């Protein structure tokens, strides 16, 4: 079998033209991706700087505001009942409640702050509904 014979001028043109065409095609494919890489690198660096700034920002001071009413004997039971009813109305399951007094310098008053951790189970939209009802 005999190959295709090309004139020397055409062979020379193909020897130069094919690599140049391959280079142009590869640049057409790679360059837009490289531009996207440069943009994303700049975005990542900006987000890293924001994260570093947020991590190094001091926490806001704890509020020293005192409640306006004295505690009542049945208040914690009513609070628990209200939380359970809110969770039930949002189709969430109430898992637990953990209350602990906040350790702050004694101000001399009779009222003390209490921090409460509430655990509920549910899907994301249901938990969002619970939080919305809790805020209202």
| Average pLDDT over all residues of the chain | 85
DSSP 3-state percent helix, strand, coil across the chain (nearest 5): 55, 10, 30
pLDDT over 70 at 129, yes or no = yes
Which DSSP category does 62 fall into? Answer: P
pLDDT tens digits, 53-100:
999 988 877 766 665 666 678 888 888 899 999 999 999 999 988 877
Residue-range domain boundaries for the chain: 7-57, 75-135
pTM confidence score: 0.43
- Burial per residue of 3-39, b for 16 or more beta-carbon CB atoms within 10 angstroms, e otherwise: eeeeeeeeeeeeeeeeeeeeeeeeeeeeeeeeeeeee
DSSP structural state of residue 93? E
Distance in angstroms (rounded) separating the CA atoms of residues 70 and 73: 10
């Amino acid at each position: 079998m005999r190959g295709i014979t090309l004139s020397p001028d055409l062979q020379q043109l193909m020897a130069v033209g094919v690599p140049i065409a391959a280079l142009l095609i590869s640049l057409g494919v790679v360059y837009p991706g490289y531009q996207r890489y440069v943009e994303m690198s700049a975005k990542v660096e900006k987000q890293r700087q924001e994260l570093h700034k947020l991590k190094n920002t001091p926490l806001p001071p704890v509020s020293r505001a005192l409640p306006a009413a004295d505690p009542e004997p049945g208040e914690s039971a009513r609070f628990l009942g209200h939380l359970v009813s809110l969770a039930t109305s949002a189709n969430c399951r109430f898992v637990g409640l953990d209350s602990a007094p906040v350790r702050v310098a004694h101000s001399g008053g009779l009222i003390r702050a209490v921090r409460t951790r509430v655990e509920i189970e549910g899907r994301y939209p249901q938990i969002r509904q619970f939080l919305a009802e809790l805020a209202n």
